[in-house]
Structure 1
Amino acid sequence: MPISGNALVRSTAALLLVGLLALAAIVGTTIWLVERNQVYFDEGLEARIARSATVNLRNALQNAETGQRGFLLTGEERYLEPYNDALPQISDLLERFNTVLKPYPEADAPVAALNAGVADKLSELAQTIALTRAGKRDEAMAIVETDRGKDAMDEARTLFDGIITAADERIVAGIEDQRGSTNALRWVTIIGAFVIFVVVGGSALTVMAYTRDIAKARGDLEAANAGLEDRVRERTADLGKANEEIQRFAYIVTHDLRAPLVNIMGFTAELEGTVGTLQGYMNGHDDGDDPRWSDARLAATEDLPEAIGFIRSSTRKMDGLINAILKISREGRRQLRPESLDLNEVIETSTSAVHHQISENGGSVTSDVKVPRIVSDKLSLEQILGNLLDNAVKYQDTARPLTIVVRAALAAGNRISIDVQDNGRGIASTDHERVFELFRRSGAQSQPGEGIGLAHVRTMVRSLGGEITLVSELGTGTTFTISLPRDLRNYVGSVQ
């Protein structure tokens, strides 16, 4: 089933929304997991720092204790090297230890006890070493045997071991937490990538299907256009032939009609002469005794002249109609001659032809042309404008001066628009289309004519590839609008 434009927009919007939500979820989850990993890393780092400070302090105390014992046993100063090396470090290491554990209020009591124990142990070490150096080794050993230093060191080791164990547990837990976060991030990335892949794939498939439908539709349209062009060409050729046949038929008909009409007009003229002779005779003689004489005289002097007058009027009207048909037939056969024209000059020439008729009654005719040079048939344009201007003069409203405005402007589709506007008596809405029909007239028949003017205008406009319409209101005026191609050669080439 072909995908419509609305369906494509809806499906693409839905897929993009899903993709956007998936991307937002991935970004949000990734940021949250990264933050959690940072927390786990910071906690592990703090645990490592605390463990390092504890181990270093413990090792320094053990080194100091080892140096003290070696010195007490041997009395040799070289055994005090571990003590001498560790002693200056213990103060710094103890301060760092206190700093590391300061953020943890639960460690305040053990840390205070440790500080006291370390101070007591250092005091015991310093005292025993001093006594041994003074030669009072027995007193020093007595102090050692009281287990005062041992107890302080045991308490410190217990605290050290607790801190190291807690730090190790925190490090292990942090590693597990980081591993869990990493796994979660991996799965979020995989799932999000899958969702995005599905969205992109779905969008690609939808676009490909829509593009395929467009390509198919374009192919069908091209095929239809090719067939349509052939059909249009055939129909145009058929219409051209039919038009030629109609024109030929109109010419033959009018020609054949004119022959008997000429005979009728000739015999009518002869009949008028005979009636004149008969009238002279009847007027010169009077036979009042015969009742038939008065009837004959009435027929010769009144009835026959009236009948001949009707015949002559009818033949003149028929002659006018035949001439009109011949005029339209000849116009249809006339070869168009496209040439470059200044439309303003054509309009000025047409308006100047009626300017005297309009101005003598206080009217005016103006033009407003905003069109560059065009290519069209000059004679047809002059006849079109001339007919419209003549109609405006012929059917002006006697209650006010006639005003005519001719405008020309560019229109869409490389066309031009020409408006012929007047303030004449107007045309009833029911006759807007009727006035373009052959031998049809609108309104009061106060002016002579056969009703072919606007039919002729429409024929000429259409021969130029255009169309004519009107807007009119009784008592207000009429505006005829002509739409024409800017270059007649394009139109002539398209219908050949």
Structure 2
Amino acid sequence: MLLVGATVLLGIILSSLWLVDRTRTTFDYIIEERDIRRAAADLLQNLVDSETGQRGYLITRQESFLEPYRLALDDVQRNLARVETLVKGRPIKEERIPELKRLVEQKVAEMARSVELTRNGQQLEAAELVQTEFGRKVMDEIRATLDFFKEQSDLNVQRGVAEQIESSSQLQWFTIGGGIAIIAVMSGAIFIVTQHVRELSRARREVELLNDSLEERVNERTEDLMQANQEIQRFAYIVTHDLRAPLVNVMGFTSELDTSLKALQAYVLADGGQLTEDQIREARLAASEDLPEAIGFIRSSTKKMDGLINAILKISRDGKRQLKPESIEMKPLLETTSASVHHQIAESDGKVQLDVRVPMINTDRLSLEQILGNLFDNAVKYKHSERPLNLSVRVLPEGRNMVRIEVEDNGRGIADEDHERIFELFRRSGQQDKTGEGIGLAHVRSLARNLGGEITVRSQMGSGSTFVLRLPSDLSRIVRS
């Protein structure tokens, strides 16, 4: 019904535009014909005025009659050119223009000749010229031609008015017919809409629910962006601070190395000269202690800097790696991951419990394996020394399109103030009795965010930790979007 109504409305609009354009064209045509008639009448009047001035001068020989004569001649040329311009494109009139121009030139020449003879005192010759009636015959032919122009313009104007009336009548019928059609279509549309009111109400309620969830997602993403911005600032500080520290050490011990080298140079390059006991003692001290110490510090600083740079490159490469979403069975994946640390858990009589309520998700396998592997390794590394390690993994649905993976242990736990700090690059918390550079959980968060998710932690000192990983159940939809 709406399609029919749109078609009818489009027909009314197109027909109205056509009729309006036709009316405008006809109106313009009428205006042009009116201008032709007026120009023809003006040209004839100009010739009459010039002839009146000419004859007045011939009779009275007073110069005052020549002024209107000259003005009228100027108007004759202007209106003749105007008539010629206006009749272009109208063959019936345009074909008479050359003849009209010839007659006007003859009439103007005849009047100019009589005026010139009178001015030279040849009144008789001027009178004879007038009496030949040549001027009157030319004037009659000019009048007949211009009357023909006016008659044709009057006929064209009448025809245009008739077309205008016809167009108005057609527009009226189009409007009435279109109005009836639109009323019929609207009646049908109202009937159909009434049948679907209940479905629309149901759809509206669903949209409201979706809007509520969308607002939640917007708030979550806004918070994510704020956190990401803070992390960028922290990362910039870490890079400038932690990379600068080894560099300062290298610069400092390079200076010490240079100082020690001077003592050795003085000893080695003595060139047979006598050295004091202090110089010999300083050279031996530089060779036995200062140089090895400086070289050792430089080596350890460059090694640390190399480790920091490699960690940054690793996270950067993970962000650039192309994700390959695929369907993954969660239980076999978790069993494989837990098997990699089974012997370490078994050493302390510990155990692993799996609770998988979402059997399958669509995500990037390599990234998920790295996340779970890192969380399992941390649970083993930071287990409590006085009790067996119990590791529980739960995979639960969350919302419409999300999955929550919880990795819980009963290890040392993490202090409240370090819950966010542990996810920063090169940052660690608690007792530093285990090797590590502080990049593991920063790497995990980077991977989780690449998968469209997030990771957080709940923990208390001495009571274990629960890492909560939230991921979209179908990564392929996010990748496509």
* Pairwise TM-score range, normalised by the shorter structure: 0.3 to 0.5
TM-score, normalised by the number of residues in structure 2: 0.44
Please say which structure displays the higher CA radius of gyration. Answer: 1
